[in-house]
Structure 1
Amino acid sequence: MASTFHQFSRLPVEVRLQIWEEACFPRQSRGLHYATLDATLDATYHFVSHHFPGSRSAYSWDGGLWMACKESRVVLEKHHFMKEWKESELADPTEYQYSESWMGSEKEAPGLVAVHDDHQVWHCVVYPARDIFCVTAYNNDWESVMESWPWHGLLVTVPFIEDFTTLRVDNIALEFDPIWNLDLPTYLWQFDDGKSSRGFLARMLVEKARGDSRATNIWLIDNNARWQANSKRKLSPVVYGCDREYIEVGVDDIYIDGPYKYSIKDFIRRLVYDFDYDDDWPCYYSSTWESEFSAKETIRLLVRRDNQMTKYLD
């Protein structure tokens, strides 16, 4: 079967526009994006000018539409109400008149990320307040990232669709690595080694506990965990990557059919116990602790939808 349709331009305009619209990423859906943090490029950590491994990110969904032709770009801009967002940002909020088709349907403003791919740069739409951004360190250099990361408030931003302002990223994720379960420290404050993804997670939790980043949600992603739906709880909305679908589940929904000590279930339970029940924190940590902080309520878990089990194995 041919991969291209050379007669596309001869289709009626209405048909072409409908095809472009159907190809757009569902506007109200939540996307999962992967970002490689390079401390040498941008110490402020705006998600722009970084190397993005686009093959797994939801923003890749619309990438072809941005580059296909002018007609597809126009459809994409209308799909995301870019004109309305630009006008509303510049206008007096007491005077701006929203269009009937737009008002009430959009709560989160779109932003743009600059994606570097094979020496080319292309811009893709993301929703910083709704989407989830899974971060990795360039060349696995977590030490440089942790030295320059804006820990106070975990303030990471994405440029608005115009350059005059930025939008805060509300959901930061890490992919779970089974080696996190190896050589676990005796005390949780020792998790923060300043040079690993596990240390990065521990540092984020400490900042949350101090109350400096209450608005930032922390996620762990496990691409291998198998899970079973809880009959007493409604499934969460689907989170979309480029070619995968994800579901938020609870730790108790994870099914273990291998070594428990290497599972995300074991890691989270040990982490939560140390954070929520350990009384041996150094005073420079505990003196700034938020009394209502709970690691159990803070860490959110994302798993692949196609790893769902219909029943437990014997």
Structure 2
Amino acid sequence: MASFRFFPDLPYELREQIWQQAIRPSAKNYSGIQHFSILHSNMKFESTAFKPKLIPSSRGVPTSCDEGITFAAEIPGTEGAEANRSAYMWDAGLWTACWESRQIILRHWEIKKWSEKRRNFQAEGFYGFWYREEEWRENQDCCITINAPSLITNDGGEEWQLMVRPYDDAFYFDLESLKDALNQPNPGRTWDNLVEIMQDLPFSGLNYCCQPVRHLIFDFDPNWLNNLPRYNAHVDSGSTQEFIIDLLWLLAGRSEEETHFHIWLIDRSRRQSSIKNGDEVLLAGGAGEEARVFYNCDEEFVDLGTAEYNPYGKSQLHDEPWKFEYDEGGFRKPTDILKCDESKLSAALAGEENEFAGWFIWWLAETLTETLSDIKSYPYTIDEPHLREYFWVEDHISILGYRS
């Protein structure tokens, strides 16, 4: 039996193939899921021993400044049950393994090309960049690397390169930290806080010659459909549902060029193969072979679109999750609160396949579309109906299910 040769003794061509295989996926329609928390310069830590692993904003380490609050991205922990499995962790070791691995990953992601492009924009003072759609489209494959603090204890504090693709990746922000950041004072600023935060992050914004991060991702919870108001969108204060509704309100109040934010809901009860049109696996609406795939170090999800949501036919289905009371004539009694059928909710919480996420989009569309469209029409008047733009909720929120 032949003995295994030491890795440095292998031919360069074979070593190169091995390094390439270790790099995270980069095929068309593959997008990483990136986890961060957001810290801001108004925060006070209870313990001075707490040292968050921060990537400062483009304006430096978050400290009070005359321009207002500054923001930084915190890298979540890498150990224990809540270990960080972001896509940027996939090939973090290739940046520090050796000179050869570093050169290969630099070439793979064309880092030199993007760094040079960024320097050229900065030299030209091109601050109108993110309003110009043509330049934005040309930079869809843009990769950004940032010096990140060491993640391992007793390694000498060696920094590594955290890499994100701001246009393609989806960003999973710790919700409590994001809410806190959005509630910070915004003196003298002309945009809403969400855009300011996204613009201020170290891997987003003008200093990196790209538009703000635009893909936000959340975990869907079947409990969201229980005790929902039937005729309005007032939900529990501080809930994830309320936050998603607030995001949709922000989108409705902005111009067409600024509505590229998209919300993705991870529904772990759905799979690509289960989204069907009759007897065929659905190829349209995001569930086909060309569907966009989102991945972290452990999981792959596929874009299911709205997962069979139909604004005209959904209410006709018999598998809706809510339990209604009926009068003697067989008609539904009016109700202001939608309560889930306990057996269906229990099955959904146990992970059995269901359409709860699709029904959540249905509820959002039913309760929000008309009022958000009123916002979209501002400042036009009824005398200029041709200028009105309708806001479609389902254009800005989609479902991710496990890839088959």
Task: Output the TM-score relative to the length of structure 1.
Answer: 0.74
Structure-to-structure mapping, 1:1-314, within 5 angstroms: 7-28=6-27, 29-39=30-40, 40=43, 44-45=70-71, 48-51=73-76, 55-91=84-120, 107-112=140-145, 114=148, 117=151, 122-137=160-175, 140=176, 143-148=179-184, 151=193, 153=195, 156-157=198-199, 158-159=201-202, 164-165=207-208, 167=210, 168-185=212-229, 188-191=232-235, 193=237, 195-211=238-254, 213-226=258-271, 227-229=274-276, 230-233=281-284, 234-235=288-289, 236-253=291-308, 259=344, 263-277=356-370, 291-306=389-404
Alpha-carbon distance in structure 1 between the residues aligned to 2:172 and 2:20: 27
Give the AA of the match of 2:358.
K
The 1:210–1:192 alpha-carbon spacing in structure 2 relative to 1, beyond 3 Å, is: farther
Higher mean displacement: 207-216 or 34-43: 34-43
Is contact 1:108-1:130 (8 Å) kept?
A: yes
The 1:293–1:159 alpha-carbon spacing in structure 2 relative to 1, beyond 3 Å, is: same
Report the 3-state secondary structure (helix = DSSP H, G, I; strand = E; otherwise coil) of the residue aligned with 1:16: helix
Report the 3-state secondary structure (helix = DSSP H, G, I; strand = E; otherwise coil) of the residue aligned with 2:8: helix
CA RMSD in angstroms, aligned pairs only: 3.9
Alpha-carbon distance in structure 1 between the residues aligned to 2:360 and 2:379: 25
Q: 1:299 deviation in Å?
A: 0.9
Is contact 1:33-1:134 (8 Å) kept?
A: yes
Q: 1:78 deviation in Å?
A: 1.1
Is contact 2:305-2:399 (8 Å) kept?
A: yes
The 1:181–1:107 alpha-carbon spacing in structure 2 relative to 1, beyond 3 Å, is: closer
Alpha-carbon distance in structure 1 between the residues aligned to 2:360 and 2:390: 22
Q: 1:124 deviation in Å?
A: 1.8
The 1:299–1:106 alpha-carbon spacing in structure 2 relative to 1, beyond 3 Å, is: closer
The 1:55–1:278 alpha-carbon spacing in structure 2 relative to 1, beyond 3 Å, is: same
Report the 3-state secondary structure (helix = DSSP H, G, I; strand = E; otherwise coil) of the residue aligned with 1:218: strand
Alpha-carbon distance in structure 2 between the residues aligned to 1:106 and 1:71: 27
Report the 3-state secondary structure (helix = DSSP H, G, I; strand = E; otherwise coil) of the residue aligned with 2:20: helix
Is contact 1:111-1:128 (8 Å) kept?
A: yes
Report the 3-state secondary structure (helix = DSSP H, G, I; strand = E; otherwise coil) of the residue aligned with 1:27: coil
Q: 1:19 deviation in Å?
A: 1.3
- Deviation digits for residues 278-310 of structure 1, max 9, x if unmatched? 69x9x989857973211022111111114xxxx
Q: 1:67 deviation in Å?
A: 2.8
Is contact 1:192-1:200 (8 Å) kept?
A: no
Is contact 2:306-2:394 (8 Å) kept?
A: no
The 1:206–1:185 alpha-carbon spacing in structure 2 relative to 1, beyond 3 Å, is: same
Structure 1 residues without counterparts, runs of 5 or longer: 94-103, 307-314
Higher mean displacement: 148-157 or 240-249: 148-157
Q: 1:215 deviation in Å?
A: 2.0
The 1:232–1:7 alpha-carbon spacing in structure 2 relative to 1, beyond 3 Å, is: closer
Is contact 2:302-2:402 (8 Å) kept?
A: yes
Larger Rg: 2
Higher mean displacement: 31-40 or 204-213: 31-40
Give the AA of the match of 2:76.
H
Structure 2 residues without counterparts, runs of 5 or longer: 44-53, 55-61, 63-68, 123-136, 186-191, 310-318, 322-342, 349-355, 381-387
Give the AA of the match of 2:184.
S
The 1:63–1:152 alpha-carbon spacing in structure 2 relative to 1, beyond 3 Å, is: closer
Q: 1:34 deviation in Å?
A: 2.1
Alpha-carbon distance in structure 2 between the residues aligned to 1:147 and 1:62: 35
Is contact 2:32-2:87 (8 Å) kept?
A: yes
The 1:67–1:203 alpha-carbon spacing in structure 2 relative to 1, beyond 3 Å, is: same
The 1:223–1:112 alpha-carbon spacing in structure 2 relative to 1, beyond 3 Å, is: farther
Is contact 2:320-2:359 (8 Å) kept?
A: no
Is contact 1:155-1:169 (8 Å) kept?
A: no
Report the 3-state secondary structure (helix = DSSP H, G, I; strand = E; otherwise coil) of the residue aligned with 2:142: coil
Alpha-carbon distance in structure 2 between the residues aligned to 1:18 and 1:142: 40
Q: Tell me what 1:312 maps to.
A: none
Alpha-carbon distance in structure 2 between the residues aligned to 1:288 and 1:176: 35
Q: 1:269 deviation in Å?
A: 1.1
Report the 3-state secondary structure (helix = DSSP H, G, I; strand = E; otherwise coil) of the residue aligned with 1:63: coil
Q: 1:23 deviation in Å?
A: 1.4
Q: 1:81 deviation in Å?
A: 0.8
- Deviation digits for residues 163-205 of structure 1, max 9, x if unmatched? 9535321211111122322332455452372x23222211110
Alpha-carbon distance in structure 1 between the residues aligned to 2:178 and 2:12: 50
Is contact 1:116-1:122 (8 Å) kept?
A: yes
